[in-house]
């Protein structure tokens, strides 16, 4: 299958969406698909097609964003993008986040009857926090930006989102296409805390070390709510003399500990 991915979030820019987009292209290529990518290049005026580890990449002329590390945005991408799409003739297109480039690609897909998927890795709150000193302006802008985001996503055939919360917000804002929750490429089964946790703790030597999650995953049949408290203190006891307390249903998180 010939799959085209379009995104302004792509290496060498740094970030979660950039990593997700790159891993998606590399993973699809490893599965035997023919993959092409449209992403910003390093020139203001010149676009070029390059081979990057077996992926055909159209590096668009673009301008830098001073507020983001190595982030650039393609500008006036219409003609060169459509010419690249005509030449590649994709069977399906995948876009990440709203931009001028992804707008052109989604419109092309609609005109030519090509199935399209858009990945939403952004929320208005990612940007309105810079004007948080003006809460009235934030309250005015936020719902309107959500509606614009939903309208943009509706141009695709299907939406892929990293969280159900974002899907819910978009649905309330007017999302009308089918949506799937895909957790940023994280294998929820492999990262489930109950999956061979004893062996992992033994291998890493963390049997008596308390751990606190930095990120919660939406695991099926998991506990709906867990309050975790980690206290730091200085004492004379060794780690092995301390007793870690897990109350009620949270005991299932550490069933290897004595009562």
- Domain end marker among 151, 181, 211: 181
- Domain end marker among 181, 196, 219: 181
Based on the fold, state whether residues 174 and 211 are members of the same structural domain.
Answer: no
Rounded distance between C-alpha atoms, residue 124 and residue 5, angstroms: 23
Based on the fold, state whether residues 37 and 81 are members of the same structural domain.
Answer: yes
Domain span holding position 235: 187-259
Based on the fold, state whether residues 206 and 171 are members of the same structural domain.
Answer: no
The reported pLDDT for the residue numbered 83 is 96
Q: What is the pLDDT of residues 8-54, one digit of tens each?
A: 989 988 877 888 889 989 999 999 999 999 999 999 999 999 999 99
Based on the fold, state whether residues 144 and 192 are members of the same structural domain.
Answer: no
- Phi/psi at 204 (5° precision): -90, -5
Based on the fold, state whether residues 85 and 192 are members of the same structural domain.
Answer: no
Q: What is the pLDDT of residues 154-181, one digit of tens each?
A: 999 999 988 788 899 999 999 999 998 8
Based on the fold, state whether residues 175 and 220 are members of the same structural domain.
Answer: no
Indicate yes or no: pTM above 0.75. no
The reported pLDDT for the residue numbered 249 is 67
Based on the fold, state whether residues 176 and 192 are members of the same structural domain.
Answer: no
Beta carbons within 10 angstroms of residue 90's beta carbon: 24
Based on the fold, state whether residues 156 and 218 are members of the same structural domain.
Answer: no
Q: Beta 62-64 vs 178-181: how paired, if at all?
A: unpaired
Based on the fold, state whether residues 81 and 8 are members of the same structural domain.
Answer: yes
Say which CATH number the domain at 140 has.
3.40.50.2000
Q: What is the pLDDT of residues 189-231, one digit of tens each?
A: 555 555 555 666 677 676 666 666 655 555 556 667 767 777 7
Beta carbons within 10 angstroms of residue 106's beta carbon: 24
User: How many folded domains does the chain comprise?
Assistant: 2
Tokens of 164: 């159900």
Rounded distance between C-alpha atoms, residue 146 and residue 144, angstroms: 5
| pLDDT mean over 137-151 | 94
Q: Is 19 exposed, middle or buried (0-12, 13-18, 19+ CB in 10 A)?
A: middle
Mean predicted lDDT score pLDDT of the chain: 83
Based on the fold, state whether residues 208 and 146 are members of the same structural domain.
Answer: no
Based on the fold, state whether residues 66 and 171 are members of the same structural domain.
Answer: yes
The reported pLDDT for the residue numbered 214 is 57
Based on the fold, state whether residues 20 and 51 are members of the same structural domain.
Answer: yes
- Domain end marker among 138, 155, 181: 181
């Amino acid at each position: 299958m010939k799959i085209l991915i379009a995104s302004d979030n792509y290496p060498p820019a740094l970030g979660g969406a950039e990593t997700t987009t790159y891993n998606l292209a590399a993973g699809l290529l490893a599965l035997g698909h023919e993959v092409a990518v449209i992403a910003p290049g390093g020139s203001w005026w010149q676009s070029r097609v390059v081979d990057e580890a077996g992926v055909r990449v159209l590096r668009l002329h673009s301008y830098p964003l001073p507020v983001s590390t190595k982030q650039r945005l393609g500008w006036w991408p219409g003609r060169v993008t459509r010419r690249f799409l005509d030449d590649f003739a994709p069977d399906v297109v995948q876009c990440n986040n709203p931009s001028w480039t992804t707008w052109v690609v989604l419109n092309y897909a609609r005109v030519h009857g090509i199935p399209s998927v858009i990945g939403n890795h952004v929320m208005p709150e990612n940007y309105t926090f810079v004007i948080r000193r003006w809460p009235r302006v934030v309250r005015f802008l936020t719902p309107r930006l959500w509606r614009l985001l939903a309208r943009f996503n509706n141009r695709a055939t299907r939406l892929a989102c990293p969280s159900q919360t974002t899907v819910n917000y978009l649905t309330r804002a007017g999302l009308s296409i089918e949506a799937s929750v895909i957790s940023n490429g994280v294998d929820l089964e492999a990262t489930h805390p109950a999956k061979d946790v004893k062996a992992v703790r033994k291998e890493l030597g963390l049997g008596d070390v308390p751990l606190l999650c930095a990120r919660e995953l939406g695991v099926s049949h998991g506990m709906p709510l867990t309050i975790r408290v980690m206290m730091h203190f200085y004492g004379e006891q060794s780690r092995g003399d301390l007793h870690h307390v897990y109350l009620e249903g949270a005991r299932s998180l550490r069933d290897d500990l004595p009562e």
